[in-house]
Amino acid sequence: MNPILNRFLSYVTVDTQSDPHSASTPSTEKQWILANKLVEELKEIGLSDVEIDENAYIMATLPSNSPNSNIPVIGFIAHFDTSPDFSGTNVSPQIIENYDGKDIVLNKEQHIILSPDYFDDLLQYKGQTIITTDGTTLLGADDKAGITEIVSAMEYLINHPEIQHGTIKIGFTPDEEIGRGAHKFDVEKFGADWAYTMDGSQVGELEYENFNAASAKISISGKSVHPGYAKGKMINAISIANEFMSLLPEDEVPQKTTGREGFFHVHHISGEIEKATIELIIRDHDKELFEERKKLISTIKNQLTFTHGECINIEVKDQYFNMKEKVTPVYHIVETAKEAMESLNITPIIKPIRGGTDGSQLSFMGLPCPNIFAGGHNFHGKYEYVPLESIESAIQVIVKICELTAKKSK
């Protein structure tokens, strides 16, 4: 089998699901299994300064092979955890060779089908090798495809010394899926002038804008009274929670927005008469609109407090910000990635990320970090898939970026 495919399969079959309710780093012990495996693999292919710290952050170096000492140091970064949104246990990938453009049966017993009638992106990959789930777990191409691409590209450069490049740094992180992938990343130790995360979706994606992001937790305290004697006395926390959600803009939700349109997304609700909790996320590319969204949460609280009394507590936390602010001043790093794709006959798709990556936080930590496609689709669920050819294309893009960065520095 294709050695790149084998490498990818060896990663996705290791369960690395992160846990947002854990305070440790990494948030789950099982992430160490793949982290330690990666350390040994990086040493085996010949990288230098391979290290893993107490929080499972991995760094390694491919030394320059160029006589030019002025080549900038660049980096490539990916995360090895998978989303807590769907099971990552016992991942059993299916390999669909020479895809014919028809339905793919993921799980016959449960009648789970990956269909181009619903996921029309599939039709881009007719004739290619598609890697899917078995319908019971996610795949983990987010972001083990990115790891595969970085490791394979470094191995290629080691085996092809005729390609001149500067010093290349690579970094692999835990807990990106729960928003903490960059929290303990040592930018100064990494030592790159800029970097790229390999964490996008379809071939050609190149992103340097992402959401401004915040989380909000609304806690509502009620009073339980016998319903027969409740008039003027009962405060039903569930009813107030429903009222709170009804006051959010009904069309500003993920399923009704696209492009740079922001949203509110209620992702958890729990409750009883005495207590109810709403957890939601707030997203907008525009900083001013983002701040207005956070203010709306407070306005709704004040409105309901006027009606029901002091029974609502809100906690809003910023998560990350739009990296455009930090990347635009060094836009040449986007141009280099764009040129690399075009030289490989890949059409760049430059668009805002409707989400975030480690790169968004790293950019504000002093490491400008656009995002490049890793090739997967339908992340965080049973319909996730990645074409093998997309992984191979991403490897070629990494190699070409390293080569172009060296040539531009002469």
- Nearest CA to 293 out of 278, 305, 283 is that of 283
Q: Is 325 annotated as a binding residue?
A: no
Q: Three-state DSSP class for 228?
A: helix
- Nearest CA to 184 out of 39, 25, 343 is that of 25
* Catalytic annotation present for 81: yes
Asked whether 112 and 132 are in contact (CB, 8 A), the reply is no
Give me the sign of the Cα torsion angle 156, 375, 331, 171: negative
Q: Is 265 annotated as a binding residue?
A: no
Candidates 176, 205, 252, 358; catalytic one: 176
Q: Three-state DSSP class for 370?
A: coil
Question: Within 10 Å of residue 35's Cβ, how many Cβ atoms?
Answer: 22
Phi-psi label, residue 380: left if phi above 0, alpha if psi -120 to 50, beta otherwise: left
Q: Token digits for 245?
A: 């959600």
Q: Is 186 annotated as a binding residue?
A: no
Q: Is 380 annotated as a binding residue?
A: yes
What distance in Å separates the CA atoms of residue 333 and residue 366, rounded to the nearest whole number?
Answer: 14
Tell how far CA 228 is from the center of its chain: 51
Q: In one letter, which amino acid is 238?
A: I
- Nearest CA to 384 out of 153, 114, 43 is that of 114
**HSE value, Cβ hemisphere, 13 Å, CA-based, for 70:** 4
Kindly give, in sequence order, each residue whose CB lies less than 8 Å from that of residue 338, ignoring residues fewer than 6 positions away: 206, 348, 350
Candidates 15, 19, 81, 392; catalytic one: 81
* Catalytic annotation present for 54: no
Cis upstream peptide for 26 (omega within 30°):
yes
Q: Which residues belong to the active site?
A: 81, 176
Q: What residue numbers does the annotated binding site for Zn(2+) cover? A: 79, 142, 177, 199, 380
Which residues are known binding-site members? 79, 142, 177, 199, 380
